[in-house]
Structure 1
Amino acid sequence: MRNGSPSMRHLSVAAGLAALFMMSATVPALAASNVVLAIGGQPETLDPYNTNTTLTTAVTKSFYQGLFEFDKDLKVRPVLAESYTVSADGLVYTFKLRKGVRFHDGTDFNAEAVKVNLERVLNPENKLARFNQFNRIDKVEVVSPFSVRVTLKEPFSPFVNSLAHASAAIISPAALAKYGSRDIAFHPVGTGPFVFEEWRQTDFVKGKKFDGYWRAGYPKVDGITWKPVLENNTRAAMLQTGEADFGYPLPYEQASSLEASDKLNVETGPSIITRYVSFNMLQKPFDDLRVRQAINYAINKEALAKVAFGGFAAPAEGVVPQGVLFAHKMDPWPYDPAKARALLTEAGYPNGFESVLWSAYTTTTAQKTIQFLQQQLAQVGIKVQIQALEPGQRTEWIQSAPDPKTAKVRMYYAGWSSSTGEADWALRPLLSTEAWPPKLNNTAYYSNEAVDGFIASALKSVKDEEKADLYRRAQEQIMKDAPWAPLVTEKNLYATAKRLSGVYVMPDGNIDAGEIAVSE
């Protein structure tokens, strides 16, 4: 949320927004039904505070809500909060909460529930993945049953954006007490439109309609099933046979045939999802800038966009994609294999070297991507073994690696979207020194004191012009240091059954099904 005057500022819910959330109870429900959403991977947890994957938080949004959320354009809107004020120094936020909301277990949502959840993620003993998203909070105080005050240790300009992130869900304190901070991952209890029914980790996550949902007239379906389908073509086939009502992502090469179906609506949209390869800079030969530069020159990003993404992508224009606030647009690395070979020779590798390239995903598109990268690198003498990691392997080998010096990762194909809509969450979790695993996702083990300083200063700044300059300087320095090979920014491609409405893919790749409905 951008800062305004130096006095107290107040965000009120506009009449139109209030109408969006408080639908008349007389709105007729559509025909009873269960909806199947086919997705490209498996959620590794149902605890939104303990994941860094967008797909997982898409699933957990069926059961949970936060104080705020993002709309389809990544604009912040209130949900369990009605309004807020912030002090002139940017340290104290006071939230007025929505009344008449209940958790799935029948207990009331109130200020104490907000306090319990924020204090849980702030407790380092819980070792939750989202700790660094909230660790600038100093204290949380209950002002009244429906008013809560949060005091920060220092100004943190994206704070409300962080609260709008799907990870900032409000879990029933009674459920936390019953299941504990770890086992709540298997027993989600929130205020969302669906009550958790069952999770078979490789097969599905099911929810049923919450009859006590605070939004009158919603949800408009009896149940929702999230079905992991790793193979792109299978996901597409399920849409065509009616086994699934929604599918994302889709095989890009099948876009035209899916569009020809009279049963489906095919949608494409802009995204802020950047795909990249990180290099473990603590290990040879990736500690040498010339090697990292050589790999960037060795990859034809235009060809990659066509081969693996069917043209539904474009070469990355920097480390933060356009569409993210304070993204700085830069020219993609040019394709120059001769330059790559010269740099390798200069670095002492005239015949190239051998290494390992891991992928964070097992999808068909990811397999195509790492195979393409393997072929491209081989042309300049770099021979890489490729492996697509299963979720458990990714967690153990990447996210939980306890000692940076012995981490086994070398080259790592992954993707990221700044799901708070601001450059902070595109840079700090991936490229700051504090973000080395297991804390966050700096799989390059990149560390630059100047970049850390730019990011820290931008977080404290209340002036957009100053923030833009700081983030620009950070991004330019990162490109010079080349801890990554930025590859492409892809487009979102998904399809829905024509009977389905109220489901869409957001620019960050999250899925919003809050107003899901069907017509028979």
Structure 2
Amino acid sequence: MTPLRTIAGLAWLAAGAAFAQAPAKPQYGGTLNVGTVYVTRTALSWDGADWNWKFNHDAGQMYEQLFAADLSKAQRNGGKQAFAADAWVPAEAMRGELAESWSWTDPLTLTVKLRKGIRFPAKEGVMAERELVAEDVVYSYNRQDKSPKKIPTYFDHIAAVEATDRHTVVFRFKSFNAEWDYRWGWGYYSSVVPREVVEAGAGDWRKANGTGPFLLSNFVAGNANTYVKNPLYWDKETIGGQAYQLPFVDGITYRTIKDESSQLTALRTARLDILETIRWTSVDELKKNAPALKWKRFLATSANYLAMRVDQKPFDDIRVRRALNMAVNKQEVVKQFYGGNAELFSFPMSPAFEGYYEPLSAMPPEVKQLFTYDAEGAKKLLAEAGHAKGFSFKVQVCACEPNSMELLQLIAGYLQKVNVRMEIQSMEYAPFLSAMTSKTNAPGYYMSNGFTNPTTSLRKNFLTGQTWNAAQWADPKFDAQMEAIYAERDEPARQAKIKQATRDILAGAPYLFMPTPYYYAAWWPWVKNYDGELFAGAARPGPIYARMWIDQDLKKKMGF
């Protein structure tokens, strides 16, 4: 360790402050080491047709989409967007990525003009260098649509996608869908992957090749994803009135680190430039030992809950589901477990969903009751449901989430007070996820699930037959509500419909709803053009990383 690394915290701060006064002129070069929001989870698949939710996070560096978040609207640029929600890009914060322009030719026809001159680089054994064209978009859509792993109903609103010339794609709709831009524009499953990659083997990371700012150069499962600059990348960033070619850094490395203490050590010793997910319990110590770090606090990108299978006893009885909610002292969890760093009520609508979220104070009494601790009331409801002596049930939980493991033990303690006992089964992430997607999950399923966006949060969690519907909720009234929500073109009217559907779902208590914690992102001051933004699309940070640069002089000055 050099002497500079052991200088006092104030000296570190002084060095950072001195360089902060210098003009923010971008620098090229260097490698960015990142502990992402999903630092504990390795890549699940490199093939988009597998419909795995993490694809954009890992492959979104090289595979681009029609649209992306407009990062010029970020808070650090004077805008109002934090870009911290996992899949929420409001219409006013969306830009064209592969799309240069788009327009509605008629109410059910969307015409998209692609940017000209975007190129796939040559990849030995896979493809020659060539231009991206409209047929690539059509091919990618059709492959996703025909995948047997497709989420049910996902593209049911689309009649056809056609290339009318080399750079024009026309989407013909059967019916309007309010998620038209998310479903096949900037969502989890809308990446444009060339036919050559698919024919070479899309699931093989060595074959991956796209038009994005970075190319995948190495992957070691459970260890790291390594990306290098795409020399043919097309996009630029305007800073101080001057346009700069992207990306700035030569490469990015995602580190997969399952152990929390190891994550913190890697950040403190600058083996990580950025760590995007830090629990509040570690913040004070890090600020003491690495005072130069910069910080951003954000509400977790996912909600915590215990899904109760309503298609199985005893959870087919609403009294049982309501009782379990009342038996857990959620206010105490916020105060004691999270030290006040959590929101008592924030699901299925995140407070980030402006215009869609309603606070608990606005909810009807039957919803407020679920967030009010009442052990005696819970016992009474259980007795009415025929469970005066209580019952036991199995709960599955992922071992990859420290909070989930700890919280489930806490919930178990509360439920024991009303004679309800849990048999906890801890699982690795892959079999845990498979249990839900195959609908073989236990009667209790404790998970941390992304908020996504206002419409998807309701659809994926509660629409009949949906993949992420761990409670197996099936309500014809709610299904009809969702159909009306998606058909509504007027946003204020859609917001009103979503608020009512949210109230109805909460009152039905399919989940034991838990508070949502705040997390922190931290980064060293040599990381520039960044302020804790997490996603520029659905779980996709690639465009954000492409715009960061490393102040090499500052990094050296600080002893690293």
1:189 matched to which residue of 2?
209
Q: Deviation string for 1:217-256 (max 9, x for gaps)?
A: 2221222111121222221111001221111311220112
Name the aligned partner's letter for residue 223 of structure 1: G
- For 1:281 and 1:205, how far apart are their aligned partners in 2? 40
Higher relative contact order (CA 8 A, sep 6+): 2
Q: Deviation string for 1:99-145 (max 9, x for gaps)?
A: 1111243232111110011111111xx22345643332110111111
Change (3 A) 1:467 1:416: same
Q: Which moved more, 1:318-327 or 1:224-233?
A: 318-327
- 1:205 aligns to what SS in structure 2? strand
Q: Deviation string for 1:187-240 (max 9, x for gaps)?
A: 432211111112221111111111111125222122211112122222111100
Correspondent of 2:31 among 12, 30, 33: 33
2:379 matched to which residue of 1?
341
2:4 matched to which residue of 1?
none
C-alpha contact (below 8 Å) 2:298/2:518 kept by paired residues: yes
Note the C-alpha offset of 1:34: 4.6
Note the C-alpha offset of 1:431: 0.3
1:204 matched to which residue of 2?
224
RMSD: 2.3
Change (3 A) 1:426 1:254: same
- For 1:93 and 1:271, how far apart are their aligned partners in 2? 34
Q: Which runs of 5+ in 1 are unaligned?
A: 1-26, 402-406
* Residues 1:366 and 2:400 aligned together: no
Change (3 A) 1:415 1:104: farther
- For 2:262 and 2:334, how far apart are their aligned partners in 1? 22
* Residues 1:81 and 2:95 aligned together: no
* Residues 1:322 and 2:351 aligned together: yes
Change (3 A) 1:167 1:495: farther
Note the C-alpha offset of 1:340: 1.1
- For 1:496 and 1:134, how far apart are their aligned partners in 2? 39
- 2:227 aligns to what SS in structure 1? strand
C-alpha contact (below 8 Å) 1:277/1:484 kept by paired residues: yes
Name the aligned partner's letter for residue 412 of structure 1: Y
Change (3 A) 1:338 1:154: same
Name the aligned partner's letter for residue 115 of structure 2: R
- For 2:481 and 2:252, how far apart are their aligned partners in 1? 44
C-alpha contact (below 8 Å) 2:205/2:216 kept by paired residues: no
C-alpha contact (below 8 Å) 1:281/1:446 kept by paired residues: yes
Change (3 A) 1:361 1:321: farther
Alignment of 1:171-320 (within 5 A): 171-179=193-201, 183=203, 187-216=207-236, 217-260=245-288, 261-270=290-299, 273-320=302-349
Change (3 A) 1:244 1:318: closer
Note the C-alpha offset of 1:33: 3.0
C-alpha contact (below 8 Å) 1:46/1:187 kept by paired residues: no
2:8 matched to which residue of 1?
none
Note the C-alpha offset of 1:154: 0.8
Note the C-alpha offset of 1:510: 5.6
Seq. identity, %:
21
C-alpha contact (below 8 Å) 1:45/1:186 kept by paired residues: no
TM-score by length of 2: 0.80
Note the C-alpha offset of 1:267: 1.4
- 1:434 aligns to what SS in structure 2? coil
Q: Deviation string for 1:272-325 (max 9, x for gaps)?
A: 532221101111111111110011101122222344444321112453222225
Correspondent of 2:456 among 400, 414, 425: 425
Change (3 A) 1:510 1:34: closer
Q: Deviation string for 1:458-512 (max 9, x for gaps)?
A: 1011122332232222112212211112212333411112222345343787644
- For 2:401 and 2:114, how far apart are their aligned partners in 1? 41
Alignment of 1:117-128 (within 5 A): 117-123=140-146, 126-128=147-149
Higher CA-based Rg:
2
1:4 matched to which residue of 2?
none
TM-score by length of 1: 0.85
Correspondent of 1:157 among 178, 181, 200: 178
- 1:249 aligns to what SS in structure 2? strand
2:442 matched to which residue of 1?
409
- 1:433 aligns to what SS in structure 2? coil
Change (3 A) 1:408 1:458: closer
Note the C-alpha offset of 1:365: 1.7
- 1:174 aligns to what SS in structure 2? helix
Name the aligned partner's letter for residue 68 of structure 1: F
1:22 matched to which residue of 2?
none
- For 2:26 and 2:303, how far apart are their aligned partners in 1? 41
* Residues 1:115 and 2:138 aligned together: yes
Correspondent of 2:496 among 469, 484, 506: 469
Correspondent of 1:452 among 479, 504, 515: 479
Name the aligned partner's letter for residue 40 of structure 1: T
- 2:131 aligns to what SS in structure 1? coil
Change (3 A) 1:160 1:485: same
- 2:154 aligns to what SS in structure 1? helix
Q: Deviation string for 1:147-184 (max 9, x for gaps)?
A: 1001112111221133122431111222112215xx25
1:133 matched to which residue of 2?
154
Q: Which runs of 5+ in 2 are unaligned?
A: 1-24, 75-80, 82-88, 123-128, 237-244, 553-560
- 2:431 aligns to what SS in structure 1? helix
- For 1:489 and 1:52, how far apart are their aligned partners in 2? 24
- For 2:94 and 2:519, how far apart are their aligned partners in 1? 21
* Residues 1:43 and 2:43 aligned together: yes
